[in-house]
Structures are given as structure tokens and as C-alpha cells.
Copies of this chain bind each other. A is one copy, B any other.
């Protein structure tokens, strides 16, 4: 049994009081779960997490993920009590503009918050990714160490809720975690029988632990005390057993009473998302032996007791530092490699590996991406990733001989430290685990699927953008150009819909060399401009431009550039294309030039990167004086008016695709060079009408 004093009880109750008071002060928030979970969170932070509150970035730390982000006070109170720098005034400013205690925990905003949570199910997906990353990083830096003996061994702890477990993403991520036998992952399930619409009997009656057993998890259930409070001893035993189980992920179902011990509010749905009200808070304070007249009451004794965790943390840290120093001393090269990866630097000479593609031959940009990944993979060990079961189509297999799969997996390529991730047909978990991987360390992860299925992972993509995580999506089959699979598989609105996400850069290269430069740029931006990037790549072959004749593919790094200048250098019309449609602009330019119309072609692989350039560069590529413009992209027009202006024309696709050969589709849907020529004429006429 663990030692658990009255002072520990008082500290836990202090957290409950703070949660009630903070929500009451601002008038909104979620007090109930923070009250119920206070003992569990305190137990984790004080006795189980290996952490150093004075250094939230310590590489050797355990990670803690609060998947139900709405109960942010569960985390904030522990960050306060542990000494992460959050103080009482921060708790008093809960959910107030500019405070360090926003409604949901925000990574990068509050020290000690390992990931931004709130959208349900994402936290557990992140935790699974962190557990995967911990194993991969161990493989990079210390693969030979005996289990549990490496400075790279640690545990990922998560609290998860009914809502998390109802969301499909948690099913995907948990199935993957079971398959991957992530023994470094421990989840505590807050089984409180309450969701917003009331009793979980409204919608949720499955046997959660049987489900997790089916996924291959180690499962335990603990009962509350007779009072209804969490049985701390039982939980401590279960956490100890879970940590000891290193061959499987663990989940502990813990029955709790929401808003315990509030006399009236406990076990009600209202306590989930509303302040308890002054009377109920006063009554609860009385139950807990707090002064009902005082708010935010934290005794010095409680605080200094709780903050002893700093000393315990420093002791654990010192022990780790010894082990880490030994590890460094044992092999200078791998220590240097570790430092390099930590710093976000790439190996010397890596750019030399970048493939260059000869002009003339048609190459699909997905193929160019696959070649680039393989070439760079040979020299950048921290570059890893895979696909949601479309590796052969996405060409994301960085190493066929090395699959990220656990001990005991029957596949020949299986290795616990393998580089190729098989996410399974689980795009959403792929997105969410990629976020966890990026949050955990500084490896560089990519994940592939068809562009149309970016929809399946969109909530995770949004969170990557919100957290500015440098992850790369390899989204292939990026238009009706995929052909026969038809409208369910053909993205039409996706480029626009993804460009809409603030902070996500979409890149749609026009040929093989733009693709290589795009990948190089992605890797260069990893540290300088962290954030997610989506590569939109063709299934079908596209011309590889002769860069002696056309503008350099280096322009890709600037998002947009002059691919083909007007013959006299003074364009009358500018054609702007992306990806596979750039060839239509090039062909249209030939026709227009033959007609005597000076025509420039701009390749615009990334509107976001182009918009980052200074005004001078942008004016150079798209001079404001040239108002006859045509954009061409096999997707909806939305967004292009911004670039082509009132007199411009947009060659686009305003409806779903169809199942047929791709050349037939481009023809039938009017995404052709002829259409671009026609649009250019129309744009010129529109201008003439005004100037007349």
C-alpha cells in the first residue's frame, strides 16, 4: 500500500475546491469531472509520473495526456500544486482572455500541457502516438539497452472519458495500440456513467473493458470507496500493475461519481458543464471541511506538501541524468546524433541525396515523392512514417525491410524499431498518432492516404495546425485524375477545404522536380516554420518539365513562380495552375502565344507559401498591372478569385466526378487546354470592355 496521509486528502480536496471556485468565478466551465478525478490526477502527478515540474521539456519525462480536455481544471490544479509555474492567480483567471488557463488545455500556451485536447478522442490518439514515438526514438538512440534500463524508457499516462471512448478515433487508435503492443501506455478510464444528455444509458451500454481486451489490452477495473470517492489504494495498485505490464497497453476502468461530494450536484449531467452555484459550492465546502465563505482556499501546508514533488522529481531527474551521461559517454556518435535530432538539424550533406528527375518523361508526382522519401530516408533516420493501408498507392514505404511492428509479429519485416508504419485503415488515428509522435520528440513523421480521405482525418489535421506540429501528409490521387474509382474517391472540394485551415500548408507540385523541392522545403521548414504540410500528389503521370527551358523548380519553395515567361517578357495574360493542371496552362500558352498573345504561366504549388513571400516577390510573379488571368485546377473555384480578380477566369470543377478513364473525365468536365485558352480570351475581352 502507498502512504496516503490526511494531508494528501486535504490536498486532493483543495483541488476540488479550486475547480469549483474557478468555474464559479468565470461563470462557465466543467467542474464535476475535475472534482471527481482530483484524487486520480493527484496520485498520478505525485506518485507515478516521472517528471520535473521545473523543466517541462525534460526528454526523460513521462508524459501525461488529459484526453477529456473540458476538465482542464483537473490538469491546471495539478500543474499549480506540482509547481509548474501556474499560480493561484492563473486559476482565478480561468477561461479569461489572455490567461494561462484557457477553457481547454493548450499545448505551447501553458507549461506542462503535453497536448491540446478538447475534441474528444484526440488525446488518446495522441497518447498512442507518443508511445509509438517513445519506442521509435529508443530504437534510434538506444536500441540495445535491456528493457527498462534505457534513459529513453518512460511511460505515457492518459486519462480518458466516456466521450473519448465513444468516438471512433479512440477505437482506431486503441486497436492500433493493441496491435503495436504498446506496453509503455497506461490509460485511466473515468467511468462516470454521465454524459451531457444524462445517464450514459442514453447511448452507451457496451462492455468497454471487454472491447479493450479484444484489442489486446491489459484491463483492470477498480471500485470506488463506499463513500463514492475514488479508492486511492486500489488505483495505486492498478497503476503499479499497469506499469509493470510492458507487453501490452493497459486500461483501468475506474467508476467515479461526477461532482463528488457535492450534496445535490453529484451524479448529475448538469455538473458536467455548468458552475455549481454559490449555495451548492458552500455546501460542498462544508462537507470537505473548508470555509464556505472563502474562495480559492489553499493552505500553505497543502501547497508546500504538494510541491515536495519537485524534490522527488529532481531526485528522479538526477538518477536519469547519471544514466543519460553514461549513455552519452558510451558512444559519442549516437550522442551527437541525438543532439542533432533534438536541435532539429539534418545530417550533413542530406540535400545531395535529393533526386533530380530528367526532363521529358511523364512521372506521377506520387512516384517522385516515393523516390524522394526513399533517397532521403537513407540518410535521415528520424524520417519515418507510412500509410493508412494504401502504401502501394501512396508510395510512402520508406523502407520495405523495416516495418514498425512489435516483438512477436509474424511478418518478416517486423521490428519494434521499424521505420515503416502500418497505420491500418485508420486515417483518423493516423492523424492523431502523428500529432502524438510530433509532440513526443523531434522525429519527422509522415502519413499517407488518398486526398479524398483527408476528410476522415480532418479533426486531427486541424489540431496539428492549431499546435503548429511539423507533420507531413502524403495525400495522393489528388483529383479526378485518379479515374475509374469514381466520385467517392475523387477529391473535388478538398484542396479548397484544406487550404481553409489556418496554419496548414497545402502543396500541390506540378512535376517530379517540384515534388523533390517540396519535400526538401518541408524538411527545411520543420524547425524554422513548424506546422503541418499536406502534399497533394497525382496518381497519373505528368510531364517532367525541361528546366533549361522552363523556370527552375526551386521556385516551389516560394509557393509560386514563373514557370514559363511570356515570349516578349511582357505578359498580356497570366495562366496560373497547380499540380497536374499546370500542363494545361503550358499547352494553352503555346496556343495563345501562336495567336500573338504574350502569355505567362505561373506554377502555384502552395498558395500558403506564396502568401508568405514579400509583396515585391508576389508582384513580380503576379504583376498587378496584368489583370487578364486564368486559374486552372481540377477542383472547385472557391478561393481562386482572390488571385485572378474580377476580370479573371477560373477553370474549375463545380460538381462531383465520375467513374471513367481520367482522360475522358478531364475532357468531359472541361478541364482542358482549350478551356484555358477560351478562358484567357474571355478574360482579355472583359478587360477590353472596361478599357474601351
Q: A residues touching B (Cβ–Cβ < 8 Å)? A: 26, 28-29, 69-70, 95-99, 102-104, 106, 116-121, 162-163, 166-172, 175-176, 178-179, 195-199, 201-208, 210-211, 213-216, 269, 387, 389-393, 403, 405, 409-411, 422-429, 452-453, 455-456, 458-459, 462-463, 465-466, 483-489, 492-493, 496-497, 499-503, 636-639, 641-642, 645-646, 654-656, 658-661, 664-665, 668
A195 to nearest B CB, angstroms?
5
How far apart are the CA atoms of A424 and B483 in the complex, in Å? 37
A503 to nearest B CB, angstroms?
7
CB-based contact B496/A502 at 8 Å: no
CB-based contact A203/B422 at 8 Å: yes
| A206: contacting residue among B95, B215, B459, CB under 8 A | B215
CB-based contact B97/A664 at 8 Å: yes
CB-based contact A202/B638 at 8 Å: no
- Residues of chain B with a CB closer than 8 A to A204's CB: 175, 179, 424-425
Look across to chain B and name the residue whose beta carbon is closest to the beta carbon of A198.
B411
CB-based contact B210/A214 at 8 Å: yes
Given A103-B659, A169-B168, A493-B501, are A214 and B216 also a contact pair (CB < 8 Å)? no
| A636: contacting residue among B205, B269, B410, B500, CB under 8 A | B500
How far apart are the CA atoms of A455 and B199 in the complex, in Å? 26
How far apart are the CA atoms of A483 and B503 in the complex, in Å? 21
Given A172-B171, A196-B390, A205-B216, are A104 and B489 also a contact pair (CB < 8 Å)? yes
CB-based contact B202/A405 at 8 Å: yes
13 A-B pairs (CB sep. < 8 Å): A97-B659, A168-B171, A168-B428, A175-B206, A201-B409, A202-B403, A207-B213, A211-B211, A455-B459, A456-B459, A466-B487, A502-B636, A637-B642
CB-based contact A103/B646 at 8 Å: no
How far apart are the CA atoms of A175 and B200 in the complex, in Å? 13
Given A459-B455, A660-B95, are A197 and B486 also a contact pair (CB < 8 Å)? no
CB-based contact A118/B489 at 8 Å: yes
How far apart are the CA atoms of A539 and B300 in the complex, in Å? 41
Given A197-B392, A214-B214, A641-B642, are A658 and B102 also a contact pair (CB < 8 Å)? yes
CB-based contact A656/B503 at 8 Å: yes
How far apart are the CA atoms of A208 and B500 in the complex, in Å? 38
How far apart are the CA atoms of A195 and B660 in the complex, in Å? 24
How far apart are the CA atoms of A206 and B501 in the complex, in Å? 34
A555 to nearest B CB, angstroms?
24
Look across to chain B and name the residue whose beta carbon is closest to the beta carbon of A178.
B206
Given A26-B484, A389-B195, are A502 and B102 also a contact pair (CB < 8 Å)? no
